[in-house]
Chain A
C-alpha cells in the first residue's frame, strides 16, 4: 500500500511570506494528524482530524496557522505570515479508526524561514 505522501519535501521562504504544505494520507485512513518537529526534539501534535472534523487543534497557533481537510481525505496546513521560529519539520500522519492506533507517518516537509 502507498504510504503517506507529503509535498513539498523542502521549502525555503523569507519571513513574513505565506507557505502551504500538502498531505495525502493512506487510502481509507479517516484520522489525519499534523505534527511539528523542531531540531533535536520529538514531534508535537498541531491538529488531529477525524474525517473532515478537527477534533483536537489545541496546540495550533491560530493567529498564523490554519489547516483544512475539506473532503475528509487530503489536507493542507498553511502558515501566514511565516516567522523565523517556524523553521522545523512538519510531519503528517494517518491512522484508521477513532481510537488512537499506531499512525503511519509521512517523510515530512522541512521548512526553512530566512
Chain B
C-alpha cells in the first residue's frame, strides 16, 4: 500500500529565505507526482506535476525534483514571500490512477 510522508509538518521562515519541502513515498511504481497548494477554506491548487520519466519541473520561483528510485521529491521555493503562506501537499498517482496524498506541510512566511 502506497504511503506518502511529508516533512516537516510545519515550517516558519522570514521573508526572502529559500526553503525546501520534502515528500517521500514507499512504492516507487508511480506514474507521476504532483505538488498542490491549499489555502484556508479553499480547495487545492495544482503547482507542479512531474511525470515518472522526468527529474524536475520549474514554475517561476518553484522547482520540484523527483528521485523515483529512492522514493523522494522536494519542492524548492526561492525568495519566499508572505503570500506563499499555505499548506503544501504532495500526491502520487500509480496504476489505479488514484491520487495518494501526503499529510502536508504548513508554511508560514513572516514579513
Q: Which residues of A line the B interface, CB within 8 A? A: 3-4, 40-45, 48, 56, 91, 93, 99-100, 102-108, 110
Contact = CB atoms under 8 A, between A and B. Distances in A.
A107 B39 CA distance: 10
B21 interface: no
B1 to A, nearest CB: 12
Contacts of B34: 102
B104 to A, nearest CB: 6
A102 B96 CA distance: 14
Given A91-B44, A107-B42, A42 B89 contact: yes
Given A100-B31, A102-B34, A102-B49, A43 B44 contact: yes
Contacts of A43: 44, 89, 99, 101
The size bracket of the interface on B is 20 to 34
Contact of B97 (A42, A44, A91, A100): A100
B52 to A, nearest CB: 13
Q: Quick one: which of B31, B34, B41 has the most chain A CB within 10 A?
A: B41
A42 B42 contact: no
Interface string B28-47: 00010010000001111110
Contacts of B101: 42-44
B4 interface: yes
Given A99-B97, A100-B31, A100-B97, A42 B4 contact: yes
B91 interface: yes
B58 to A, nearest CB: 17
Interface string B47-88: 001000000000000000000000000000000000000000
20 contacts: A41-B103, A42-B4, A42-B89, A42-B101, A42-B102, A42-B103, A43-B101, A56-B96, A91-B43, A93-B43, A100-B31, A100-B97, A102-B34, A105-B43, A105-B45, A106-B43, A107-B43, A108-B41, A108-B42, A110-B41
